[in-house]
Amino acid sequence: GIYYDFANNRIREDQACIKGSVPGYSSNISEWFIGTDWYIVDWVNKTCQHADFGFGPVIPGWFLVNATTMDPLFLYNRFNDTYEKMHWLRSSFFGVFEYYVRATDNLPFRLRMPGATSLAGMTLMTDLVNWTTTKVDMSAFNLPSYCNSSDVRHTASLADFRGTTARLKILGYIPECQ
């Protein structure tokens, strides 16, 4: 799941491999951006990485600035085995973003975006399921205690960050792991 608290400049994203495994990677990971601090937690091995990148979560809809409204189309909804009419926007800021909303109620449906390895041309396609705009339990933004210990691995560079994220993002978006 993804928790986004724009008012307090923080975001949490949970990633899990629900079937099988990804060789060499944990099956249960969470990422936080709290202000400019990025944390990644491996829940299985109880490890934490940290970096301060000088930037934090982006404002809602930042990738839609100067986006082009495209003609409606129908997309397959794999969760209810139907085709649904969609409205969508396309932007090519730092890679291609495509944002689809259901025509019936304008709820978010799918997002295509550059992946952490976008410099290599890869993209992520994320179906947005059970979308809500309800209050979030603020304890979801609490880091585990071992993120405050001396055992935290501090990621030294953006290159380290991209490498780590590229490997871990794969885990979050594979519907069936190897």
The pLDDT tens digits of the residues spanning 69-121 come to 889 999 998 888 999 999 988 887 667 788 888 899 888 888 887 765 445 55
Bridge partners (DSSP) of residue 47 are: 42
- The SS3 of residue 64 is helix
- Are 113 and 63 spatial neighbours (Cβ–Cβ below 8 Å)? yes
Q: What is the pLDDT of residue 85?
A: 95
**26 pLDDT band (50/70/90 cuts)?**
confident
How far apart CA 47 and CA 87 sit, in angstroms, is 41
Predicted model pTM: 0.60
Rg, C-alpha atoms of the chain: 17
Question: 136 pLDDT exceeds 50?
Answer: yes
- The SS3 of residue 153 is strand
Q: What is the pLDDT of residue 153?
A: 67
Question: 167 pLDDT exceeds 60?
Answer: no
Q: Is 30 exposed, middle or buried (0-12, 13-18, 19+ CB in 10 A)?
A: buried
Q: Which tokens go with 25?
A: 């990677």
How far apart CA 102 and CA 156 sit, in angstroms, is 42
Work out the mean pLDDT of the chain and round it to a whole number.
Answer: 75
Q: What is the pLDDT of residue 162?
A: 42
CB neighbours of 18 closer than 8 A, spacing ≥ 6?
Answer: 177
Find the mean pLDDT for residues 30-44.
Answer: 89
